[in-house]
Amino acid sequence: MDLEIFLLIAFIGISLALILKDKKNVEFKYVLLIRRTKKFIRKVNEIVKKYKKAIKFYSLISIFVSIAASVFGVYMLIQNLYFSITHPEEALPSVGMILPKVPGLEYPFPYIIGVPVSYWIISIFTILFSHEFSHALVARAEKIRIKSFGILLLLIFPGAFVEPDEEQLKKSKILTRLKVYSVGSFGNFLNALIFLAVSFLLFKVVLFFLEPVGIEYEVIQNTPASKANLEGIIISVNEVRTRNIYEFANVMRSVKPGETVKIKTDYKTYEIETTNHPDNPELPYIGISFRRNKVEFKENFDFLGKPSPFLINFLEWLFGSPLFTPFNPGLFSWIIILNLLVGVFNVLPIKPLDGGFIYEAIFEKFFSKDRAKKLVNLFSVLIILIILINVAISLA
């Protein structure tokens, strides 16, 4: 069994076990399994009591950040709709479903974002934790009672929630509601920022010990590279050192189809006449597909020998592949991307998303409660309509 499939099955199984552990507290609604608990309320109260001022400041910042993110999200939706209408042949959906990428399964629609299972599981956990924990802390700091925490399972999709006293929250001040509703997405944005900083610092540490020294590749049959019997790790092109794939691509930009390039490997030097690239005739083509960058310890640390394949694979899993070249996202990249995407989507002015309740609270400052609800409902319909039109154009 493929490791990714095993992880997905194990994750679903563990989620089910946690939900069904205490059957009397499990609720089944349509295709939803819900389990509520009060176990973490005391811990939240302890944290709030200790850091109340910091949490209040945190929640105040969240209002401005979440509203700005909401405006940005609406702007991007409208801009994407305009582009879809003016360039329908190039249209892409403005939103996407984030699903685990199961080996051997191809999603048929362009608006489905396939994420490797291990990345998906960890990213979902960071999203849910930062989002719901932020809601809980601010609700208690604003003296809103928390009735329960909960986890749920929608088919294979996990979820979590904090259940505040809705009646108490509805009757609270507008500023209180703004803090409680906006802080969830702010937690996701802060999470993305923290992981960005951590990944940057860790990669600096990796760069201190390791460096790329050449390019590993596969030769495509019936191409100039295969006819030349190209072998070995590529270390230079036209006498320009190419330590990684980015440097190789940069040198090849100055080469035209039909020209001869001198490619040096750790085996020998080859002279290969380029042809037109099958996807873009204006670009040169020698017929290789990149695998990864060859990475070794720096000269000061060569006493450590050769980096083990496990170490390189782990680093690529964390930072992306190929290492030292930002082509495919790794764990840190997916955590950052998904936290940002979920955070922005959640503050769109759509009910029942947090963004809908944020704007309802804002409108109540200027209109009656009834008028505020109608305005938010109108915004919800308009935004959903924009999304649906965009999806329809992209699938046409």
How far is 357 from 174, CA to CA, in rounded Å?
Answer: 10
For residue 231, the surrounding DSSP H or E stretch is none
* Residue 220 pLDDT: 93
* Residue 33 pLDDT: 64
Q: φ, ψ for residue 212 (rounded to 5)? A: -80, 140
Question: 164: alpha, beta or left, given left = phi > 0 and alpha = psi -120 to 50?
Answer: beta
What is the DSSP code (8-state) at residue 103? T
* Residue 392 pLDDT: 79
- With beta carbons less than 8 A apart as the criterion, state whether 189 and 58 touch: no
How far is 187 from 110, CA to CA, in rounded Å?
Answer: 28
Helix 41-86 to helix 369-395 angle, to the nearest 10 degrees?
50
- Closest C-alpha among 97, 341, 63 to residue 182: 63
How far is 107 from 260, CA to CA, in rounded Å?
Answer: 41
**The token pair that represents 164 in the structure block:** 């505040």
Residue with tokens 């940069």: 250
* Residue 93 pLDDT: 67
Reported pTM: 0.85
Terminal-to-terminal C-alpha distance of the chain? 37
How far is 292 from 325, CA to CA, in rounded Å?
Answer: 9
- With beta carbons less than 8 A apart as the criterion, state whether 322 and 316 touch: yes
Q: All domains of the chain, ordered by start, with CATH?
A: 3-205+335-395 (no CATH), 221-286 (2.30.42.10)
* Residue 174 pLDDT: 93
Beta-strand relationship, 112-116 and 97-101: parallel
- With beta carbons less than 8 A apart as the criterion, state whether 263 and 270 touch: yes
Beta-strand relationship, 234-237 and 260-265: antiparallel
* Residue 1 pLDDT: 46
Helix ranges (H only) for 26-116 are: 41-86
How far is 101 from 372, CA to CA, in rounded Å?
Answer: 41
Q: For residue range 31-54, what is the model confidence (pLDDT) as tens digits?
A: 566 767 787 888 889 999 999 999
What is the DSSP code (8-state) at residue 23? G
> Which residues of the chain fall below pLDDT 50?
1
What is the DSSP code (8-state) at residue 279? S
Residue with tokens 């495509």: 220
How far is 160 from 97, CA to CA, in rounded Å?
Answer: 18
| DSSP-based three-state secondary structure for 43 | helix
